[in-house]
Structure 1
Amino acid sequence: MTSISALPPGLAASAARVGDAGTVLGDEEVTAFVTEQLTAHPFDGRSVCVLVPDATRTCPLPLLMRAVHGALHGRVTRLTVLVALGTHAAMTEEALARHLGYEPGRLAETYPGTVVVNHEWWKPETFADLGTVPATRIAELSEGRMDVAVPVLLNRAVVEHDVALVVGPVLPHEVVGMSGGNKYFFPGVGGKRIIDVSHWLGALITSAEIIGTSGLTPVRALIDDGAALIPAEKLALSVVTAEVADGAVDSAVDDAVPASAAGPTAETGSGLHSVSFGDTRASWASAAEVCAATHVTYLDAPVRRVLSIVPAMYDEIWTAAKGFYKVEPVVADGGEVILYAPHVTELSSTHPEIYEIGYHCRDYFVGQWDRFAGVPWGVLAHSTHLRGAGTYDPATGEERLRVRVTLATSIPEEVCRAANLGYLDPALVDPAAYAQDPDTLVVPRAGEMLFRLRTR
């Protein structure tokens, strides 16, 4: 077992919070809290970089951004909104407008004095060098699994502002345990090496052990170390979203098959249980407490099959795979997860290496490290996360996987099978019929709610 530490006593309590697991906040409550907290903080005469998620996270970003802008405009010298893409595709102006709540080309009318930019991770000049996490620290965090120094590169926009304000949700996450907080820096707007090392570290430990953990995981410790090198003051408004009710199969199917290429709106299913404000660690810890109670569903027994209805905000398998990560813990050995996403047409638009290596368990890569060490480690990690637990015998070349993964998407069958994934024609999928099968769990809007087996 990998060591996962408890958070420092009182860390979560040091953040201000409105709401809890039993509440759903109204817009006025959210706006009033954000306004009160930001008004009381010394932003005057300082520049602020606001880091926000891209469209692969459910979040009422227009509501939050209106409140943030209202509290900061006229007080700060500069206000920049930086979209934390990680290594996702850039958002177009039309997508940014929907995401943040303004008319395309009319940003200044809704958010005067504000600049909105994508994190251009593909450009070397994007980054500032903050230093290095030494190899000895990586060896400590990985319990000897890795021994590499990690350069800490970060988007210059964060370094060139006085304050970095993270605004976004906290959710169960396959690499870090619970997303949010300093994760918006790494991998959100961080350099490739720290992304690769952090993700491969998580893959070596395995998603099954990390996902949904609200303690201090080794990957969370690594990104906290990187964040400690950031010269800006680091604050966060960490939110916990209110999920679509279980059993909402029809509406989930509608969301999985968008009527147009416009994609989902930023406020789809966007109620909030809570909003926490403080430094990035305290705010995250406060929200993680709520998220652990709202975004984890417990089952008494494993199921043979899961039909994950993937929402349109995940437009390729690189992100749609979350529909597997969050349900694998409740699938019986030899069972199957079907990712139902007719709108998905490709594995990844930004990581072509995944087409070359396909999807395999961790031991498949570790057992052939000379062959795969040169593949970006973040790609290897993504591969293992979608195949879950398994074994590989170097002597025979046999890989045994715990569960089957089947794509019911618009990706051609030959591509699926070449990537070591199953194929099912999405036209043959009837979610309502699957819902009547006692051996099948149907998960509406899969990707954010984590399913676990209840321990006895």
Structure 2
Amino acid sequence: MDSMLLGEGSVSEPLTPTQVSALLERTFESVTLRGQRVLIIIPDGTRSAPLPLLFRLLNEQLYGRVAQLDYLIALGTHPPLSEAAITALVGLSAAERAHYYPGLRIFNHEWNRPTMLQTLGSLSAEEVEELTAGLLREEIVVSLNRRILDYDQLIICGPVFPHEVAGFSGGAKYLFPGIAGPEIINTTHWLGALVTSLHTIGVKDTPVRRLLHRAAELVPRPLLVLALVMQGQNLHGLYIGDYRQAFEAAANLSARLNIVTHPRPYQLVLAMAAPLYPDLWTGAKAMYKTEPVVADGGEVIIYAPTISEFSYTHGPLIERVGYHVRDYFLKQPERFGTIPGTIKAHSTHVKGAGSYDAITGREQPRIQVTLATGIEAERCQRVNLGYRDPRTIDPEKWKGREAEGILVVEQAGEVLHRLRDH
């Protein structure tokens, strides 16, 4: 299984359900799973993917042939999905699932319940230092959802996009942070922040990706990856293999489909967050994916009138810390030593690149980040972000003004915009 790589992908044409079905059939002809217990790890609703189709086709291939078939939602630290959200995710209600697939279960990951986690081992400080080219030197405890130990085969099924922490999402990232414990979640996110989103996003080989691949070696069960490549809502690629091969192939196609280049930077970018993001924790991807094309001293406006919270999971901590450039934390280690790395990473990713002078206390972000959301002006000011009333913005009047230095990005969050010579 380790040497197998199956896949199809096209820049111009989406895959048909028939093509996807044929790929899965070929896969499970060569991977003997009869009588085994199988757990399929899938993303939540903050990633574009044809999960109802994959749910149906995977069940066609496996349900009734394996001893047990279940699904685990790779939430990372996102809130657990309600039954209504699970229904929307897989396309069948609990009653329909019980009717068509008796005994099949769908679990939410529980990152903050120690009893639901299993330590698999650790990476030494020396190895971490080598993998991260000296950025970090600390031992990392590797823990995952303990449910994986109840199965004989793990299958990851999820899309690959440019990503602010790992360079590209997908593959082993559905383990870490997808179904991981807080230690490795915090460490990998802070590592991504040390590199900065600006120098990470859209890069295939990053310190975080190297850490993820090394940590995946500690997983004590066979692991198969179904890496999806999307363009909008269309599935353009499916690569099936181990977590390195499938990721590499999918990231190559994703780079062609999900990176748009521009000849020059813009003074103002209106990033209209895709509606699949429930809070700024996820909706800030609209900023991450457009930051590279904002000119020095320019502004990105995250336009998302329906977002009313910074984070449904981490809101109080975010409001306590605020949003700051990376060096604000690096140059005040004692002050922020107890703040989880995930919180600091999110803070710096949203604020973007910049500098901080510890002597004067002056923070100088490269660009201005403004929220045009349902979050009130006073709350925005308190966390060190700009505010604009979304009712004062008519996106239609902003479109077509690239020559004036204004760019409107619709459905922002999955496609990376960057300059042509970068």
Aligned partner of residue 369 in structure 1, secondary structure = coil
**Among residues 236, 248, 251, which one is paired with 1:288 in the alignment?**
251
Deviations 1:305-338 (A, max 9, x none): 1111112210100000100000100110011111
Is structure 2 residue 112 aligned with structure 1 residue 146? no
Partners of 1:301 and 1:67 in 2: how far apart? Answer: 44
Q: 2:35–2:67: 8 Å Cα contact kept in structure 1?
A: yes
Partners of 1:202 and 1:96 in 2: how far apart? Answer: 30
Is structure 2 residue 98 aligned with structure 1 residue 108? yes
Counterpart of 1:184, as a letter, is: Y
Cα displacement (A) at 1:159: 2.4
Aligned partner of residue 98 in structure 1, secondary structure = helix
Partners of 1:435 and 1:340 in 2: how far apart? Answer: 14
Deviations 1:245-303 (A, max 9, x none): xxxxxxxxxxxxxxxxxxxxxxxxx2111111111221111111110110000000001
Listed as ranges, the matches of 1:36-435 within 5 Å are: 36-214=26-204, 216-243=205-232, 270-351=233-314, 352-435=316-399
Deviations 1:30-72 (A, max 9, x none): 2222233223311112111100000000000010111111101
Q: 2:112–2:181: 8 Å Cα contact kept in structure 1?
A: no
Q: 1:23–1:274: 8 Å Cα contact kept in structure 2?
A: no
Partners of 1:32 and 1:359 in 2: how far apart? Answer: 47
Aligned partner of residue 121 in structure 2, secondary structure = strand
Q: 1:73–1:113: 8 Å Cα contact kept in structure 2?
A: no
Aligned partner of residue 59 in structure 1, secondary structure = coil
Counterpart of 2:357, as a letter, is: D
Q: Compute the TM-score of the two structures, normalised by the length of structure 1.
A: 0.89
Deviations 1:318-369 (A, max 9, x none): 0001000001001100111111101101001111211101100001110111
Cα displacement (A) at 1:77: 1.0
Q: Compute the TM-score of the two structures, normalised by the length of structure 2.
A: 0.96
Cα displacement (A) at 1:25: 1.3
Is structure 2 residue 410 aligned with structure 1 residue 447? no
Q: 2:132–2:211: 8 Å Cα contact kept in structure 1?
A: no
Deviations 1:186-209 (A, max 9, x none): 000011000111011110011111
Partners of 2:52 and 2:414 in 1: how far apart? Answer: 20
Aligned partner of residue 372 in structure 1, secondary structure = coil
Aligned partner of residue 411 in structure 2, secondary structure = coil
Aligned partner of residue 209 in structure 2, secondary structure = helix
Instruction: Give the count of matched residue pairs.
Output: 418
Q: 2:259–2:416: 8 Å Cα contact kept in structure 1?
A: yes
Partners of 1:452 and 1:279 in 2: how far apart? Answer: 30
Aligned-residue RMSD, C-alpha: 1.4
Q: Name the residue aligned to 1:249.
A: none
Partners of 2:81 and 2:149 in 1: how far apart? Answer: 22
Q: 2:323–2:350: 8 Å Cα contact kept in structure 1?
A: yes
Partners of 2:148 and 2:293 in 1: how far apart? Answer: 40
Q: 1:159–1:230: 8 Å Cα contact kept in structure 2?
A: no
Q: 1:35–1:68: 8 Å Cα contact kept in structure 2?
A: no
Q: 1:344–1:411: 8 Å Cα contact kept in structure 2?
A: yes
Deviations 1:161-203 (A, max 9, x none): 1111001100000111111001110000011000111011110
Partners of 1:379 and 1:105 in 2: how far apart? Answer: 38
Partners of 2:194 and 2:131 in 1: how far apart? Answer: 12
Cα displacement (A) at 1:221: 1.0
Aligned partner of residue 131 in structure 1, secondary structure = strand
Structure 1 unaligned blocks of 5 or more: 1-10, 244-269
